[in-house]
Structure 1
Amino acid sequence: MSNSRTGTTVRLTVAQAVITYLAKQYTVADGQRRRLIPATLGIFGHGNVAGLGQALDQLSDLMPFVQGRNEQSLVHLGSGYAKAMRRRATLAITASIGPGALNMVTGAALATVNRLPVLLLPGDTYASRRQGPVLQQLQHPIEADTTVNDAFRPVSRFFDRINRPEQLLTALPSAMRVLTDPVDTGAVVLSLPQDIQSHAFDFPAELFDERDWLIRRPPPDAEEINAVARMLTEARRPIIIAGGGVVYSDATEELEDLAATAGIPVLETMAGKGAVQQRGWWQIGGIGLEGTPANNDLVRAADFVLTVGSRLTDFATASQSLFENPDVRFAAINVNAHDANRLGATAVVGDAKRALGALAAVVRSAGVSSPPEWQETVRAATAEWAPMRAAALDPETLFDISSVPADNDVVPATDAILTQGQVIGLLQEHARPGDTIVAAAGGPPGDLQKVWDATEGRHCHLEFGFSCMGYEIPAGIGVRLADPDPDKRVVVFIGDGTFLMSPTELVTAALESLAVTVVIPENHGYQVIHRLQMGRHGREFGNEFRYRSGRLDLAGEKAAEHQPRLDGDYLDVDLVEVASGLGARAIRAKTADEVRTALEQTRQHQGPVVIVVPVIPHVDLPGAGAWWDVAPSEVSEDGTVQRLRGEYEAGLGKQLWLG
């Protein structure tokens, strides 16, 4: 609020005040001013239609409304939009009370885990309580003020329940502060009881003045920069690990300058994919469980690790087992002090762009550069990986299906002739500068992390902090809303298992005529978990889409006896018909040329496109050569499980315990 005290008031309902206020909020970053929340998404029910629904109708010129199909998906859409906007703008999402509100909890957790701002406006049960139990009212026997919306508290960065209109005077600015704070951002929840939404109040007029929120760039401390520079001077085998903070801070140029100046190879986490846009010997790609084997060998040898804008979580570090050099030391640049101190790192707390620029200046002045022999080692490792990558992606290679491991079962026959890697090769061949490929759970994000060339503007939007199935399609819509340029293609790369879980936002894309291309490598199951299961259990169980070999009987005399298993033929599910029925232009493409044609002919289609490509199951890209802390059963009579347990226990000794 401004400092003026005019005494002028405006009589509005709580819902009208919320929407009016949101329409007046702006962010300012690097001299650019934009609306913080340019639209609201939602699904109406009795818990929000008379309050927020009326306000959004009345104020639709100020705040456009996008109708969705599933509340969880709409939060994912908001997260995808916020990520594409570099966290400088986001969307608001409203839902009715009860199940509508709770559907948003998973999306809130994803946003908070990934430090992505979204504003959630769930309806809540009556504040007056005069109505007694209504449809979605939770009656807690000893906590009378508890509602289902309290489930948001542990997965949100800010939560407030508005039980009186005047509470908005402090709640709304507090919510905006968190949404625009690069340290504390995540899901922000303003829980709005159904009756309070429609209550009127004389709000001070200055509450609705336009307000700018500066996206801060905290400067680093010079002593912290100098400490890291000294560590670099002493390092013989340094590496940089770039995370999502590099992308959000627009620090690509500064990172490239430091890498080129000091001769330091740069690896990327999933959130940091594309942090380096130039092609240079020091731009070497992914790290960790889905990194390249060459890159992980370099990490094992490194004696100095500089992390920028990353928390160095489980996947990136292979459960903290990658750092095998006994003399390895860590430093970290992060705007968040807690994240900067992980693994006992020497911390630089500050904005990535400013910190990298300052560090590059000190390094250049001191003439610091990595030893020539380390640079040659890096070049040799990447040269060794290049033909392996090319062979795995080459769509013209006829794959020998007889070489597919049968595990303990015969792989059912499919009509597939391409591998998932070859489909990625075709997408890479088709990608142009400005295009974005989106992936989240399952095999697609790991494969893209390993082999996708995200340089020169071929953006790669990976969500793996929460590994949330169902993020992909709504996030793709969010990316498209962030950049409607028809010459830039948005491709969602999504497994058939995830697609079947949540395809319905295709209807939203059709309703809004949004050009989003969904490519489904159809491999008949949750195959990445099948792969993990085979590596930790040795037998397939419950992960492939197969018919049960006989009728399941849970009610009769045979209920306690041996039951038939899910080990029949693959399910006959027509994904093209599913997609077509949801409003998409849907195509099945089997051969490389058919995929090329489908991609080319639909590039300018103004609406959702779904391309289903059957792929050969159980065919993976070359492994990362990394250990992972997923424990096989400690007690088993199966020799395979016993062997896998022994291999797992041998890997435990490589883990670091540095916090």
Structure 2
Amino acid sequence: MDTIRLTMSQALVKFLNAQYVEFDDGKKESLMKGIFTIFGHGNVMGLGQALQENPGKLEVYQGRNEQGMAHAAIAFAKQKHRKQVIACTASVGPGSANMVTAAATATANQIPLLLFPSDVFATRQPDPALQQIEQTYDLSLSTNDAFRAVSKYWDRVTRPEQLMSAMISAMRVLTNQADTGAVTISLPQDVQGEAWDYPLSFFQERIHYLDRRQPSTRSIQEAVKLIRKKKKPFLILGGGVRYSEAADEFLQFAERFNIPFSETQAGKSGVESTHPLNVGGLGVTGNSAANELAQEADLIIGVGTRFTDFTTASKRLYAHSDVLTINLSDYHASKLDATKMIADAKLALLALTEELEDYQTTYRTEIKEAKNRWEQELHRLRHIQYTESDFIPEIKNHFDHELKEYQEQLNTTLPQTTVLGHLNEWIPSDAIITCAAGSLPGDLQRMWISKERNTYHLEYGYSCMGYEIASAFGVKMAEPNKEVYALTGDGSYLMLHSELVTSIQEGYKINIVLFDNSGFGCINNLQMSHGMDSFATEFRKRNKVTGLLDGEIMRINYAQSARGYGAKTYEVHTLDELKGAIEDAKKQTVSTLIDVKVLPKTMTAGYGESWWHVGIAQVSENERINIVYEEKERQLKQARKY
């Protein structure tokens, strides 16, 4: 057998360069775009040496935060419809631990992410190594064992020859459209430099075919039989429609049989928002039209959705409807005790369209009327104006502080919904927006009009604060010819914005629109709507009189911080300033940040059957909490049991 003597790291780089994917049209592309690195003693002389000596086609990117660079890699793969990935390597200990959150984000969203965290010495010499955690009951454990719970595949390469089986398994999971996520290959730092005689066959070009799974004849027959019994089915467009690139087939199915459809966060912009049958976002963060029609439906058809608690309103919305699922994953298709089609979305929809033939729903004017009612509400939300004396905010629950205090401290009268409405109008129609956490995802799912496909990039499977800016960088790498806007709250920005620097370093221009309401506004709303007073969710200084965090509102100039990194920045307190900033940002070639001061409690509230099951204290001295607990118990009785 012909062999070549390489270090484990050199063999890894050579193997990654030989991985390809082939698509339906026969086009072949490298599976690996490149690798994000933050070097330390655990990987700089192992994998780092191999990447410097002979990187092949792999582009090497210098991250600023291990979680941030891995989030960028997730966003890149997501925008590429899971058909190309960027790997990430970090040093031993804290560097590797920083990627655990990103691994969880990838796995929750079923996005392929390849991680190479460095590990402690396999030889246990030295023992303990710098940054090693010593578990007295098990010396085989290291920081990297924390990845086991959040990875779809986990391995530790303790001998150089183990790399071969580890990486073949890694490729299997990365290209598994039904069950992908984070793949973690732990690399002890001594083993990274150890040499072995690898067979040349290990480095042969490998083509991974993303074959579409056909629905079984039996599942088609069962689905058709179920649909024919129903008069008012309702479609849910999930992320699987986007990954399958099945938008045309989805529309053909909906139009042929006159079935309204809604969108999940992952599915939104899979089809244009303006389509007559598209009634918008569904569930806890859904609008009135989608929630009304879903509640009245006699069959829910979920295409490529995981049916999270937000999509089902904690199994309260469509609690008594039959459910049909189309999903590549048997696990997700089996939720809600559904009739299931385990298949690729495109092929399943084509099969159903053909078999249903002359079937028609009984919808007449209900869809148009529901959409018209929502359009009127949407117009109102976009044009709310703050007035000092009689202004009633959208979120009204036991607000302890006058908005006038925020108006004065933040020097703004801008409602959040008004800013979003105008931003939607003023940015290019083909621009891509990214977001992940806080109140913005709810506002966006309800209010954002996606004028073109695949322009709405939300991470809401994990709702991971700090994903926003790193994801904009990853999306820009995937689609460099489009403007990309990260929409983020001040809380998420403070949590993680390090890859703004990397975007400037790489020359990938991103635009950050930062909504500053001086606090974790979404969670402040949650606690106050569930009977609590405001508690440690607003950005207030400690009050020397009370000893609590109920003092003066903090004023932070985020534009100044980003300006120091080299970004072009803008400070916005009025709509005119916002429009001017957006127009000028379009002309820039460097990353930009628009620091928009907005009033709290001016985001959207819930619509229709948008209950969300949140843990509530069963007993409390606060009577408001007792009332909320009783309401929770009442809603639970109406929810689907399993």
Same fold (TM over 0.5): yes
Name the SS of the counterpart of 1:450 in structure 2: helix
Rounded to whole Å, the distance in 1 between the matches of 2:543 and 2:273 is 53
Q: Deviations over 1:17-36 (max 9, x none)?
A: 11111111111122222111
Contact 1:263/1:375, CA 8 A, preserved across alignment: no
1:64 equivalent among 47, 59, 67: 59
Name the SS of the counterpart of 2:33 in structure 1: coil
Matching residue's letter, 1:379: K
2:494 corresponds to 1:505: no
Which residue is equivalent to 1:4? Answer: none
2:329 corresponds to 1:329: no
Contact 2:160/2:196, CA 8 A, preserved across alignment: yes
Report 1:66-145 matches (<5 A).
66-145=61-140
Which residue is equivalent to 1:435? Answer: 431
Which residue is equivalent to 1:407? Answer: 399
Q: Deviations over 1:468-497 (max 9, x none)?
A: 001111111110000111xx2100000011
2:579 corresponds to 1:579: no
Rounded to whole Å, the distance in 2 between the matches of 1:21 and 1:589 is 49
1:208 equivalent among 195, 203, 221: 203
Displacement of 1:98: 0.4
Contact 1:536/1:631, CA 8 A, preserved across alignment: no
Q: Deviations over 1:189-222 (max 9, x none)?
A: 1100000001111111122222110112111012
Which residue is equivalent to 2:301? Answer: 306
Rounded to whole Å, the distance in 2 between the matches of 1:241 and 1:211 is 36
> Which is worse superposed, 608-617 or 129-138?
129-138
Structure 1 residues 548 and 497 mapped into 2: Cα distance closer, same or farther (>3 Å)? same
Contact 2:67/2:99, CA 8 A, preserved across alignment: yes
Rounded to whole Å, the distance in 1 between the matches of 2:607 and 2:621 is 30
Q: Which runs of 5+ in 1 are unaligned?
A: 1-6, 552-562
Which residue is equivalent to 1:360? Answer: 353
> Which is worse superposed, 178-187 or 649-658?
649-658
Name the SS of the counterpart of 1:521 in structure 2: strand
Contact 1:262/1:369, CA 8 A, preserved across alignment: yes
| Large movers: runs of 4+ above 3 Å | none
Contact 1:27/1:213, CA 8 A, preserved across alignment: yes
Contact 2:470/2:497, CA 8 A, preserved across alignment: no
Contact 1:504/1:582, CA 8 A, preserved across alignment: no
Name the SS of the counterpart of 1:122 in structure 2: strand
2:518 corresponds to 1:531: no
1:648 equivalent among 627, 632, 638: 632
Q: TM-score scaled to structure 2, two decimals?
A: 0.96
Contact 1:423/1:521, CA 8 A, preserved across alignment: no
1:476 equivalent among 472, 477, 482: 472
Name the SS of the counterpart of 2:180 in structure 1: coil
Name the SS of the counterpart of 1:425 in structure 2: helix
Name the SS of the counterpart of 1:418 in structure 2: coil
Contact 1:435/1:458, CA 8 A, preserved across alignment: no
Displacement of 1:622: 4.4
Name the SS of the counterpart of 2:234 in structure 1: strand
Contact 2:273/2:280, CA 8 A, preserved across alignment: no
Contact 2:21/2:207, CA 8 A, preserved across alignment: yes
Name the SS of the counterpart of 2:116 in structure 1: strand
Q: TM-score scaled to structure 1, two decimals?
A: 0.93
Matching residue's letter, 1:426: H
Displacement of 1:163: 0.7
Report 1:269-348 matches (<5 A).
269-277=264-272, 279-324=274-319, 326=320, 328-348=321-341
Matching residue's letter, 1:569: E
Rounded to whole Å, the distance in 1 between the matches of 2:118 and 2:110 is 24
Name the SS of the counterpart of 1:254 in structure 2: helix
Structure 1 residues 73 and 293 mapped into 2: Cα distance closer, same or farther (>3 Å)? same
Displacement of 1:538: 3.4
Displacement of 1:61: 4.8
Displacement of 1:73: 0.9
Which residue is equivalent to 1:554? Answer: none
Name the SS of the counterpart of 2:45 in structure 1: helix
Name the SS of the counterpart of 1:330 in structure 2: strand
Identical columns (%):
38
Displacement of 1:458: 6.5
Contact 2:274/2:449, CA 8 A, preserved across alignment: no
2:592 corresponds to 1:609: yes
> Which is worse superposed, 572-581 or 304-313?
572-581
Displacement of 1:65: 0.8
Q: Deviations over 1:237-262 (max 9, x none)?
A: 11011111011000101100000001
2:3 corresponds to 1:12: no
1:370 equivalent among 348, 354, 361: 361
2:21 corresponds to 1:27: yes
Which residue is equivalent to 1:598? Answer: 581
Matching residue's letter, 1:634: Q
2:548 corresponds to 1:565: yes
Which residue is equivalent to 2:623? Answer: 639
Matching residue's letter, 2:629: R
- Matched residue pairs, number? 631
Rounded to whole Å, the distance in 2 between the matches of 1:299 and 1:357 is 23
Q: Which runs of 5+ in 2 are unaligned?
A: none
Q: Deviations over 1:243-298 (max 9, x none)?
A: 11011000101100000001111111111111223733211110011000221121
2:370 corresponds to 1:386: no
Q: Deviations over 1:508-530 (max 9, x none)?
A: 11111111000011111000101
Contact 1:23/1:38, CA 8 A, preserved across alignment: no
Rounded to whole Å, the distance in 2 between the matches of 1:177 and 1:583 is 41
Matching residue's letter, 2:505: L
Rounded to whole Å, the distance in 1 between the matches of 2:127 and 2:622 is 57
Contact 1:95/1:123, CA 8 A, preserved across alignment: yes
Name the SS of the counterpart of 1:82 in structure 2: helix
